[in-house]
Each structure stands twice: as structure tokens, then as C-alpha cells.
Amino acid sequence: MLRQASRLLARRPILAARTRAFSTDLSAADQTADAAFADAWNKVIPNMDPPKTPLSFMQPRPPTPSSIPSKLTVNFVLPYASELATKEIDMVIVPATTGQMGVLPGHVATIAELKPGVLSVHEGNEVTKYFVSSGFVFIHANSFADIIAVEAVPLDRLDANLVQKGLAEFTSKLSSATTDLEKAETQIGVDVHSALNSALTG
């Protein structure tokens, strides 16, 4: 109820205190949720300060512009590093479960799951390719793309021999697998290795 009321009020978003590499949108609705939580907390536990929530550690993201921007801003994150942080590029091709998907500025807002495959980032004339194990990609209406992958390596770090060996190993394991769990695990191994194979050759 509070959230609906605040949307009508359209308050200006307040910038978060900490500056970060990313910029996200702390809209009016987010502010009220934070305030509602803080109020509820203070009523029940008056002696302690309320804990912080993730919203206070993020920067607001720009709202959807009226015209299509010229560049796509991409955040490519892994558990161990942020490969690309708010980098402005022309296009990115992601290996979604439905196939290779090209993302250009002004792409419709999408949530897509990734399968093992090659991710390529196109900036001007440069193309950087990564092999991605799996993850998610969120494309927002304001031409921001978030790619979250579990593991990503540049293609030149892959060893073709090991890929072949792994593929052979998992294929043989798949044919000898008995339980459903084993079958699922070996199937995943086969999928990943054949994707690696096609990435190296294709």
C-alpha cells in the first residue's frame, strides 16, 4: 500500500552514500521500502539501529531514456572478479539456452539463462571472446546488460587436447551411467566439453 502511494508521489531518488563501479536505479519505490523497513524495525526494536540493506550499497541506475542510446552498457561479473564494469560497447553475443543471442542498444528487456558457450563482446572493431560455463543475463530497458557467469575464460586459455580427452571421458561415462543423478552429471560434462570443442574449432 505504501509502495503504491509513493509511486504516485514520484520523489527524486537519493544517491547512495558509497560510490561503486556500478550504477543502479534507487527509485522512489525503493526508498519507501527501505524507510518502511527502518520504521517497522524501530517500532519493534527501539534500542538498535536497523541493519543495512543491499539497496544502500548500490548506486541508482539511469531510468529508461526516451530514445535508444547509441551504446550498450554492460556489466560482466564472475564470482571472482568483475570482468567488465559499466563498459560501453556496441554489441554483445551471449550463448542463451535458446541459442546465440545478439544484444544491441535498445534491446527489449529480457531475462535469459545461459548455457556453456562463447560470449563475444564487440566494441568498434575489437572482438573479445570468452568461454562461459553458465549463468544468467539480464537486459534492462535502459540499455544496461548484466551478465552473471559462474566461470568465464578467454578462448586462448583453453587447451584443445584436454578438451578432447574430457569429451571422450565423459561420453564413455555417460554410456556406462546407471542412476539418474550420474546420467545428469555426465550429460552436463558432455555438454560442456562439446561446447568447448565447438568454441575452439568454430
Partner 1 sequence: MAMAALRREGRRFAPLISPRPITAVRSSPIAPTYEDEGPIGVRYISTQVVRNRMKSVKNIQKITKAMKMVAASKLRAVQTKTENSRGLWQPFTALLGDLPSVDVKKSVVVTISSDKGLCGGINSTAVKISKGIRKLNSGPEKETKYVVLGEKAKAQLIRDSKKDIELIITELQKNPLNYTQVSVLADEILKNVEFDALRIVFNKFQSVVSFLPTVSTVLSPEIVEREAESGGKLGDLDNYEIEGGETKGEILQNLVEFQFSCVMFNAVLENACSEQGARMSAMDSSSRNAGDMLDRLTLTYNRTRQASITTELIEIISGASALEG
Question: Under the rule (CB under 8 A), what is the footprint of partner 1?
Answer: 3-4, 7, 18, 20-22, 24-25, 27, 29-30, 33-34, 36-37, 40-41, 44-45, 48, 51-55, 57-58, 61, 75, 77-82, 85, 96-98, 101, 108-113, 135-136, 138, 140-141, 144, 146, 148, 150
Is the Cβ of residue 133 or residue 164 nearer to partner 1 in the bound state? 133
Q: Taking the complex as a whole, how short is the minimal distance between the CB of residue 18 and partner 1, in angstroms? A: 8
Is the Cβ of residue 16 or residue 174 nearer to partner 1 in the bound state? 16
Q: Taking the complex as a whole, how short is the minimal distance between the CB of residue 49 and partner 1, in angstroms? A: 8
Q: Taking the complex as a whole, how short is the minimal distance between the CB of residue 172 and partner 1, in angstroms? A: 25
Q: Taking the complex as a whole, how short is the minimal distance between the CB of residue 165 and partner 1, in angstroms? A: 22
Phi, psi of 127 (to 5 degrees): -125, 125
Q: Taking the complex as a whole, how short is the minimal distance between the CB of residue 33 and partner 1, in angstroms? A: 6
Is the Cβ of residue 53 or residue 70 nearer to partner 1 in the bound state? 53
Is the Cβ of residue 141 or residue 184 nearer to partner 1 in the bound state? 141
Is the Cβ of residue 172 or residue 182 nearer to partner 1 in the bound state? 182
- 131 and 197 Cβ atoms separated by less than 8 Å: no
User: DSSP string covering 66-77, please?
Assistant: SS--SSEEEEEE
- 104 and 91 Cβ atoms separated by less than 8 Å: yes
Is the Cβ of residue 113 or residue 159 nearer to partner 1 in the bound state? 113
Nearest to 86, CA basis, from 98, 100, 76, 101: 76
3-state secondary structure of 21: coil
Q: Taking the complex as a whole, how short is the minimal distance between the CB of residue 121 and partner 1, in angstroms? A: 16
CA distances for 156 relative to 72, 90, 118, 130, 171, angstroms: 25, 23, 12, 9, 25
Interacting residues of 43 by C-beta distance below 8 A, sequence separation 6+: none
Distance CA(179)–CA(188), nearest Å, equals 14
CA distances for 81 relative to 33, 43, 68, 111, 116, angstroms: 30, 40, 30, 22, 19
